[in-house]
């Protein structure tokens, strides 16, 4: 059973990651900044769900970055940067271009 505050926080972060939350969602639930939760998880080897799959599914469905961000409770710039970092298209037009190029 966790005894110190740090052990309690660690157990809480692990539980939130096990629920399948993103770093942003976990930080919001804990009431801590995203960076602190993300850094702690990375240092301790805790893996959170990557929201890029949900972002890309929204793009493929023809949604705007604003709509995707609103659905995932993040800003549209966070969606844009996550998709760019993953090397994925950021709009439906780019998705169609990729599909036509592969055909």
pLDDT tens digits, one per residue of 29-68:
988 898 888 898 888 888 888 889 889 999 999 999 999 9
pTM of the prediction?
Answer: 0.67
Question: Does one domain contain both 56 and 83?
Answer: yes
What are residue 48's phi and psi, to 5 degrees?
Answer: -95, 165
Label residue 67 exposed, middle or buried (CB < 10 Å: 0-12, 13-18, 19+). middle
pLDDT beyond 80 at 3:
no
Mean per-residue pLDDT for 6-16? 86
Mean pLDDT of the chain: 87
Question: Does one domain contain both 60 and 97?
Answer: yes
Percent of the chain with pLDDT over 70: 97
Question: Does one domain contain both 68 and 94?
Answer: yes
Domain total in the chain: 2
Question: Does one domain contain both 38 and 72?
Answer: no
Domain that holds residue 35: 5-44
Confidence of residue 102 (pLDDT cuts 50, 70, 90): confident
Question: Are 18 and 28 spatial neighbours (Cβ–Cβ below 8 Å)?
Answer: no
Question: Does one domain contain both 86 and 59?
Answer: yes
Question: Does one domain contain both 36 and 71?
Answer: no
Question: Does one domain contain both 63 and 98?
Answer: yes
Label residue 16 exposed, middle or buried (CB < 10 Å: 0-12, 13-18, 19+). buried
């Amino acid at each position: 059973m966790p005894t110190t505050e740090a052990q309690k926080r660690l157990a809480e972060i692990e539980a939130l990651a096990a629920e399948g939350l993103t770093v942003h969602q976990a930080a919001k639930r804990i009431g801590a900044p995203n960076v602190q939760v993300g850094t702690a998880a990375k240092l301790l080897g805790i893996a959170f769900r990557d929201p890029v799959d949900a972002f890309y599914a929204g793009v493929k469905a023809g949604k705007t970055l604003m709509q995707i961000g609103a659905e995932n409770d993040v800003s549209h710039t966070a969606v844009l940067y996550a998709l760019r970092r993953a090397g994925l298209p950021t709009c439906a037009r780019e998705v169609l271009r990729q599909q036509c190029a592969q055909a």
